[in-house]
Structure 1
Amino acid sequence: MLFNSYEFLLLFLPITLIIYFYLNSLKLIYLSKIFLVVASLFFYSWWNPIYLPLILGSMIFNFYVGKLLGKKSSKNMLIFGIVGNIALLGYFKYADFFIENFNWVLNTQTPLLHLALPLAISYFTFQQIAFLVDNYRGEVKEFNFLNYSLFITFFPQLLMGPIVHHKEMMPQFALKWRSYIKWENISLGLFIFAIGLAKKSLIGDPLTNYAQYAFDNAQNLTTIEAWYASTSYVLSYYFDLSGYADMAIGIAKMFNIDIPRNFNSPYKARNFADYWRRWHITLSRFLSDYIYKSLGGNKNIVWIVYLNIMITFFVSGFWHGAGWTFIVWGLLNGLFVIFAHIMKKANLEMNLYLAWFLMFIGLIITRTLFVAKDFSDAWYVIKTMFNPYNLKFEQLYYIDPIFQSFYIVFGLALALGFKNSGEIAKNFKPNIKYTLYTAILISASLFTFSSAKEFLYFQF
């Protein structure tokens, strides 16, 4: 079920809120949690119920491994749990990738499995690995399967994060005041949700339409079209994913639950190290806490620190997609982050505007690898962007260039020149002005639902 759909906004969300808080008002706290888990699983299985046993089996496995780790901190048990999670993710997400490369190296004809990627498997796998490691470190104090199920399945963050820790979310459900409806949180949550919905529906989707069509015809792009396609994708990716994150934060707030924000104006960064501190923050936190720091982090000699950074970004690239373009994308990001560290270590400072410009150009080039079907398309687009003899709109007539120019300029202006949703929400007051803002954003977004697009991260 999509957040940007009539069935979610007009049926699922209000019904779930009403029943949850009604059960809590009767002091049926245990039953309200059961209801919220069932509702979340219904939300998940709306997409494809065939994968419901998969997430349930994964939850049962990780809960009992975590419980054993809580009783006895066994490194072998931790390894067993992590390997089990990676094996599940690897089978569904990477099996065909390994078979393709096996066939290429050995010149064999092993048939591909063509497995459909289960929704949210990348997210709930990482979240459960974090749970196991936190158990091993003694940071989880409570073991209750119902609470654990709610921790994994809580529908606002189930499909695309943020990746949360047990210790930062579940204690909130234990606080008595959070069990009762708070109208100020309902209004604030709706406001944040409306911002995210508008980012996705009114800005992200139109940008995505052009970018996807253009990259499907990558070998026909002219120089201007290549820049339009790449810039459109960079912007659409931000508004799509950050829009989801805002909607998740807003929905959770309606349930009196605070989940961490995932974006902090990443396109205002002036180098890649700063960019990755602002972009997909909970994923960066996971990679830092459980991979980079486990390798020794920055507590080694310089070249090992840089090697740790490259390994971390290799994992990031491979997590994002089962393809060599994703791996190279991750490694390029690692190199750019290392370059930022070298600059800082050498006390070299660049003009702020030049630094931002180079960062953003680097972002556009690396994202081309991310979206292109293969290296051939990616190389053609990157090469064409810097071809001064092909400056024209000629091949693609799918979108009016004036129309697309408006969306690119508007998207850049919002991403670079205005406060982000978190900053705007700090000034929120439950008054007529903010009620009007909320109503306008949601009403305008409703008109797009008939042509609503999936979130881009669903494919990862």
Structure 2
Amino acid sequence: MLFNSLEFLCIFLPVTLTAIGVAARFHSRLLILSIVCLASAVFYGIYSVWHLALLCGMIALNWILAAEVERSARYALTIGVVLNLAVLVVFKYTGFALRQIFAANVAIPFWAISFPLAISFYTFHQISFLVDVWRKRARRPDLLTYATYVLLFPQLIAGPIVRYSEVAFQLGRQVPVFVRARFFRIGFILLVLGLGKKVLIADALGPDVDAAFANAFNLSTVRAWQAAIGFGFQIYFDFSGYTDMAIGMALMMGLRLPRNFNAPYRAATVSEFWRRWHMTLSRFLRDYLFKSLGGSRRGLARNLVNLMIVMLLGGLWHGPNWTFVVWGGLHGVYLVAHRLWSKFSPLSLPIPIAWLLTYLCVTLAWVFFRAPNFEIARGVLGRMIIPTDGPSSDTAAIMIGIAAALTWLAPQARALAVQHHHSRVVAFLIGAIASASVLTMISTGHADAFIYFAF
């Protein structure tokens, strides 16, 4: 069941919100959390009951270990982190490792053919919880509260990566304040804007991008650039659209989740890009990996090595494919180059040039992220670099133009929702976007999965 499906929007979400609203009238924290937890379990269980059983087992195990971690038992923290990572590695990377060691046609164990949905995200959630309990930044809650935190359906599948300390107070209130009118309005606006980003922009860009990458060695230079730039916009509108919907739905339930995007393509350096793109992942990698490796406290050389390690592992986290590792490695090289330039160069690039250079570097790296293998990536990059005549796509050009205008000229969804949720103009705009999105969903007859659902 996808966020951009009619079944979710017209049945699951209204029923869940209605149940939460009714339960809120009884001022029962237990009842509200039980409804949210049960609804989230049903949402995830629709994909796979077996994967739900695995997730519930991991929730119970981490909650039990947290009791010892809270008593400052380092062994419990070590066991918890190792077990979480082991489950992630076994289910997500076993097939990849066997193919590298033996052969492409090696028999893959059945449990490694299709790894559990959202395992990358809920693994990070639970590791951050154990570490924060160890660092005394969070206290171990009751099992229902912890299960609700991990299972919470708006953020379960693809984030934002939420620290328990960020929602502990909200979930732990003795007198719940779920379903506030102001939150509901803002959340509904974000939900519709996110849906529009996904259905009207990202999904419209997808077919041309897919066609180009499927025909990588027969592209013109213009068409190859359309494919790379188009995918950059596709993944931005797809993932930020998901995030807007997730944060919006959480607000409609009365919960505030952290921001995950802040106009990343307006960044003038790659460092700034990562402060604006998938912000909760960047923060997780910084606080739980980069700093654990020593951060920038042990000299410049160690700092640069740590940056490369973090970005390589961040790339691998996205999926069991070497192209993701190269994508992460490229961003590591960019970050290292920026750090060295900032430290040793007396020159400062003009903002327009710095922005253009950053955007070009990010766009080139997206080719590896999108390509299923190095051969396809080489084909697209080769056509981008070596001038080649041939046709372009008018549809891609139009959609890229629309996406670019929205990216660099339109206000951010969050600002629009927070500042103008009483505006009649915004109400009309939201109605138009909702209508266009629903009509598009009905006309296509299917819902395209969010890109980050694969991670």
1:112 maps onto 2:112 in alignment: no
Residue 449 of structure 2 corresponds to which residue in structure 1? Answer: 454
Residue 36 of structure 1 corresponds to which residue in structure 2? Answer: 36
Residue 247 of structure 1 corresponds to which residue in structure 2? Answer: 245
Calculate the TM-score normalised by the size of structure 1.
0.94
User: Which residues in structure 2 correspond to 1:104-253 (within 5 Å)?
Assistant: 110-113=106-109, 115-175=113-173, 178-253=176-251
Query: Offset of 1:441 from its aligned partner?
Result: 1.3
Whole-angstrom distance in 2 between the partners of 1:47 and 1:19: 22
1:435 maps onto 2:427 in alignment: yes
Residue 398 of structure 1 corresponds to which residue in structure 2? Answer: none
Asked if 2 retains the 8 angstrom alpha-carbon contact of 1:190 and 1:438, the reply is: no
Whole-angstrom distance in 2 between the partners of 1:343 and 1:382: 26
Partner residue of 1:276 out of 271, 274, 277: 274
Query: Offset of 1:169 from its aligned partner?
Result: 0.7
Partner residue of 2:338 out of 324, 328, 340: 340
Whole-angstrom distance in 2 between the partners of 1:136 and 1:174: 19
Asked if 2 retains the 8 angstrom alpha-carbon contact of 1:67 and 1:143, the reply is: no
Asked if 2 retains the 8 angstrom alpha-carbon contact of 1:272 and 1:336, the reply is: yes
Query: Offset of 1:221 from its aligned partner?
Result: 2.0
| Amino acid in the other structure paired with 1:455 | F
Identify the range of structure 1 (217-226 vs 331-340) with the bigger mean alpha-carbon deviation. Answer: 217-226
Residue 300 of structure 1 corresponds to which residue in structure 2? Answer: 298
Alpha-carbon spacing, 1:74–1:176, altered in 2? closer, same or farther (3 Å):
closer
Whole-angstrom distance in 2 between the partners of 1:286 and 1:27: 34
1:74 maps onto 2:73 in alignment: yes
Whole-angstrom distance in 2 between the partners of 1:369 and 1:109: 23
Query: Offset of 1:423 from its aligned partner?
Result: 2.2
Say what the alpha-carbon RMSD is for the aligned residues. 1.6
Residue 311 of structure 1 corresponds to which residue in structure 2? Answer: 309
Query: Offset of 1:411 from its aligned partner?
Result: 0.6
| Amino acid in the other structure paired with 2:348 | E
Query: Offset of 1:41 from its aligned partner?
Result: 0.8
Asked if 1 retains the 8 angstrom alpha-carbon contact of 2:27 and 2:175, the reply is: no
Query: Offset of 1:176 from its aligned partner?
Result: 5.9
| Amino acid in the other structure paired with 1:5 | S
Asked if 1 retains the 8 angstrom alpha-carbon contact of 2:145 and 2:172, the reply is: no
- Give per-residue Cα distances to partners, 1:410-442, cap 9 Å, x unaligned: 111111222211222231233433322221111
Residue 101 of structure 2 corresponds to which residue in structure 1? Answer: 102
Whole-angstrom distance in 2 between the partners of 1:199 and 1:66: 39
Whole-angstrom distance in 2 between the partners of 1:348 and 1:175: 53
| Amino acid in the other structure paired with 1:271 | T
Whole-angstrom distance in 2 between the partners of 1:109 and 1:448: 40
| Amino acid in the other structure paired with 2:448 | K
Residue 416 of structure 2 corresponds to which residue in structure 1? Answer: 424
User: Which residues in structure 2 correspond to 1:369-384 (within 5 Å)?
Assistant: 369-384=368-383
Whole-angstrom distance in 1 between the partners of 2:220 and 2:256: 46
| Amino acid in the other structure paired with 1:111 | A
Partner residue of 1:262 out of 244, 247, 260: 260
Query: Offset of 1:313 from its aligned partner?
Result: 0.5
- Give per-residue Cα distances to partners, 1:336-394, cap 9 Å, x unaligned: 01111122223431121111111111111111011111111111111110122x12217
Residue 16 of structure 1 corresponds to which residue in structure 2? Answer: 16
Residue 436 of structure 2 corresponds to which residue in structure 1? Answer: 444
Matched residue SS, 1:451: coil
Matched residue SS, 2:297: coil
Whole-angstrom distance in 2 between the partners of 1:351 and 1:181: 47
Calculate the TM-score normalised by the size of structure 2.
0.95
Matched residue SS, 1:160: coil
Query: Offset of 1:109 from its aligned partner?
Result: 7.1
Whole-angstrom distance in 1 between the partners of 2:263 and 2:117: 27
> Equivalent pairs: percent with the same residue?
35
Asked if 2 retains the 8 angstrom alpha-carbon contact of 1:198 and 1:442, the reply is: yes
Query: Offset of 1:310 from its aligned partner?
Result: 0.6
- Give per-residue Cα distances to partners, 1:284-322, cap 9 Å, x unaligned: 000000000011111111010000101110110110111
Query: Offset of 1:178 from its aligned partner?
Result: 4.8
Residue 52 of structure 1 corresponds to which residue in structure 2? Answer: 52
Whole-angstrom distance in 2 between the partners of 1:349 and 1:382: 29
Whole-angstrom distance in 1 between the partners of 2:163 and 2:36: 19
Structure 2: any 5+ residue segments left out of the alignment?
none
Asked if 2 retains the 8 angstrom alpha-carbon contact of 1:70 and 1:140, the reply is: no
Runs of 4+ in 1 over 6 A off after TM superposition: none
Residue 358 of structure 1 corresponds to which residue in structure 2? Answer: 357
Asked if 2 retains the 8 angstrom alpha-carbon contact of 1:184 and 1:430, the reply is: no
- Give per-residue Cα distances to partners, 1:121-142, cap 9 Å, x unaligned: 1000011010111111122224
Whole-angstrom distance in 2 between the partners of 1:167 and 1:274: 25
Asked if 1 retains the 8 angstrom alpha-carbon contact of 2:29 and 2:175, the reply is: no
| Amino acid in the other structure paired with 1:40 | S
Asked if 1 retains the 8 angstrom alpha-carbon contact of 2:29 and 2:176, the reply is: no
Query: Offset of 1:80 from its aligned partner?
Result: 1.0
Whole-angstrom distance in 2 between the partners of 1:451 and 1:348: 52
Structure 1: any 5+ residue segments left out of the alignment?
395-400
Asked if 2 retains the 8 angstrom alpha-carbon contact of 1:21 and 1:179, the reply is: no
| Amino acid in the other structure paired with 1:300 | R
- Give per-residue Cα distances to partners, 1:214-270, cap 9 Å, x unaligned: 212222222122111111111000000000000011111111111001000000011
Whole-angstrom distance in 1 between the partners of 2:361 and 2:179: 46
| Amino acid in the other structure paired with 1:54 | L
- Give per-residue Cα distances to partners, 1:164-220, cap 9 Å, x unaligned: 111111211234675343222211111111111111110011111211222122222
Asked if 1 retains the 8 angstrom alpha-carbon contact of 2:66 and 2:140, the reply is: no
| Amino acid in the other structure paired with 1:451 | H
Asked if 2 retains the 8 angstrom alpha-carbon contact of 1:200 and 1:244, the reply is: yes
Whole-angstrom distance in 2 between the partners of 1:178 and 1:353: 48
Identify the range of structure 1 (443-452 vs 281-290) with the bigger mean alpha-carbon deviation. Answer: 443-452
